[in-house]
Amino acid sequence: MAKNATTMDKLVSLCKRRGFVYQSSEIYGGLSSAWDYGPLGVELKKNIQNVWWKEMTQMHDNIVGLDAAILMHPRVWEASGHVENFTDPLVDCKECKTRFRADHLDPEALEAKKCPECGGELTEPRQFNLMFQTHMGAVADANTAVYLRPETAQGIFVNFKNVLQSSRVKIPFGIAQVGKAFRNEITTKNFIFRTCEFEQMEMQFFVKPGEDDKWFDYWREQRWAYYTEKLGVNPEKIRWHQHGPDELAHYAKDAYDIEFEFPFGFSELEGVHNRTDFDLSRHSEYTGKEINYLEEETKERYIPYVVETSAGLTRSVLMILSDAYEEEDLGVDGKGRPDIRTVMRFHPNLAPITVAVFPLVKKDGLAELARSIEEELRDDFATFYDQSGAIGRRYRRQDEIGTPFCITVDYDTKEDKTVTLRFRDSMEQVRIGIDELVPTIKKAIKNYKRV
């Protein structure tokens, strides 16, 4: 526990120091549970999103994309069941005033009404709706109330007919979306794990009723392979958790979570849900419009079932950060001091910077030469140029932010047009021609296996 707690503290501190994640509005004392993504964090987040998007839309010819608005007609949330059911049980400690989600408390502590922080008395649980309400227009009254969407999924359901009519998709097919969602979470701790504003990557797959179980299994397999193969996550750090009857959401027939072993323990990363025909049926009922599907061949008309894969993007950032973080013991340095290398072992497809280029020294035209090599590489990779400090320190700075490849330009480069290419994970250095850089790095990315 102590080691894991330390890892979390170290991660948070590295994220701030190197520009991955900052506390929101920090100069005003911060806003709890809201975080800003800095120059490296925004690249990491975008890269994760791009891998997911490619995996979902480009690798499947029957999945199309969508980007729906955050603000939706308020009736959507009545139909979806969120107004009525999207609640968490809340308890307060009468002494220390700490607020807990009752379902996250140890059942014995809840039964005994004893606060796990101070031992004080807990209140009875009361239901608390997680949706953020705001108002559209100048007057704030009941008629202008709207919600910030608590999930991206409903934007897909309300556009089901639009997509069907405009893109000639046929069942089975999916609609994928990445975007912000908002939940007024009772407890927000563990950095960016649970926040009030976050991003989701969701895909709703529409299938013929009766074929839902088959597709549910298919998508479970696909999603497992995505984490282990595409993102290179250590398979020992992820596991399945099937929802018991008391955990199932109001719309779900079956649900499995993929859990990741965060520094604070195994917790949900993604849900794979069989949402049945619940959402489309409810929107049909609430709008009075028939939201269904006509099968051309059989002329059969039905309301499709939905298999959903719902992953947190911001939560995936935390997963990738925690999975990548490593302190490597390299023995002792030249001065006899313990040499610990902090290295982020990001998959090269996710690393904020792919290639860093350094001149060995600034003078004698090496800086200009290194700069020109870096500029040449920009078409193919996310690059970074650094000319300050000892070369060993420059390597370590890149290790700490997970840059998989570094190139050093020296005096020989001027003569024979070769450079030193250094690999982050093995720290191996090879001498190669400038014109071989792009194919060599591309091959290394394609064949990347984490050590």
Chain residues that interact with ligand ATP, rule: CB under 6 A: 151, 183, 185, 194-195, 198, 200, 268-271, 310-312, 314-315
Q: Least distance to ligand ATP from the beta carbon of 4, Å?
A: 19
Compute CA distances 281 → 272, 277, 303, 365, whole Å. 20, 6, 7, 69
Confirm if 323 and 301 have CB atoms less than 8 A apart.
Answer: no
Q: Cβ neighbours of residue 439 under 8 Å, at least 6 residues apart?
A: none
> Is 313 annotated in some ligand binding site?
yes
The answer to whether 193 is annotated as binding is: yes
- Give the number of other Cβ atoms within 10 Å of residue 424's Cβ: 24
Q: Which is nearer to ligand ATP, 31 or 367 (CB)?
A: 31
Q: With CA atoms as reference, report the closest residue to 422 among 390, 395, 442, 447.
A: 395
Q: Is 309 annotated as a binding residue?
A: yes
From the CB of 195, what's the least distance to ligand ATP, in Å? 5
Closest distance to ligand ATP from the beta carbon of 75 (Å): 21
**At a CB cut-off of 8 Å and minimum separation 6, what does 113 contact?**
121, 122, 123
Annotation-wise, does 80 bind a ligand?
A: no
Nearest CB to ligand ATP, comparing residues 263 and 312: 312
Nearer to ligand ATP, 229 or 247 (CB): 247
d(CA 178, CA 181): 10
Residue (254 or 268) nearer to ligand ATP, CB: 268
197 is in an annotated binding site: yes
- Supply the DSSP string of 204-240, one letter for each residue: EEEE-TTSHHHHHHHHHHHHHHIIIIIS---GGGEEE
Residue count of the chain, please give it: 451
CB-nearer residue toward ligand ATP: 92 or 151: 151
Instruction: Confirm whether residue 285 is marked as ligand binding.
Output: no
Give CA 163 to chain center in angstroms: 26
Least separation in angstroms between CB 233 and ligand ATP: 14
Known binding residue 78? Answer is no
C-beta of 183 vs 422, nearer to ligand ATP = 183
Residue 157 or 198: which CB sits closer to ligand ATP? 198
* Beta carbons of 409 and 358 less than 8 angstroms apart: yes
Tell whether residue 297 is among the known ligand binding residues: no
Structural contact between residues 212 and 253, judged by C-beta atoms closer than 8 angstroms: yes
For residue 429, say whether it is annotated as part of any ligand binding site: no
Shortest reach from residue 210's CB to ligand ATP, in Å: 25
The torsion angle over the Cα atoms of residues 422, 426, 427 and 429, rounded to 10 degrees, is -40
Instruction: Give strand pairing partners of 426.
Output: none
400 is an annotated ligand-binding site residue: no
In the complex, which residue's CB is closest to ligand ATP?
A: 312
Residue 132 CB, nearest approach to ligand ATP (Å): 12
- Return the DSSP state at 124: P
275 known member of a binding site: no
- Find out whether 101 is annotated in a ligand binding site: yes
Closest CA to 164 of 202, 212, 206, 209: 206
Q: How far is the CB of 88 from ligand ATP (least distance, A)?
A: 7
What's the sign of the alpha-carbon dihedral 190, 239, 313, 199? negative
User: Contact, 88 vs 103, CB < 8 A?
Assistant: yes
Identify each DSSP E strand in 232-277 by its residue range.
238-242, 254-262, 265-276
CB 308 within 8 A of CB 288: no
Return the number of the residue (41 or 271) whose C-beta is nearest ligand ATP. Answer: 271
Residue 149 CB partners (closer than 8 Å, separation 6+): 70, 71, 72, 155, 180, 181, 182
Of residues 18 and 315, the one with the C-beta less far from ligand ATP: 315
Q: What's the min distance (Å) between Cβ of 198 and ligand ATP?
A: 4
CB 86 → ligand ATP: shortest distance, Å?
9
Distance CA(275)–CA(287), nearest Å, equals: 19
Q: Which is nearer to ligand ATP, 198 or 405 (CB)?
A: 198
CB of 406 to ligand ATP, least distance (A): 33
202 labelled binding-site residue: yes
Binding site, annotated residues: 101, 151, 183-185, 193-202, 268-269, 308-315
Binding site, annotated residues for substrate: 101, 151, 198-202, 308-312
Binding site, annotated residues for ATP: 183-185, 193-198, 268-269, 312-315
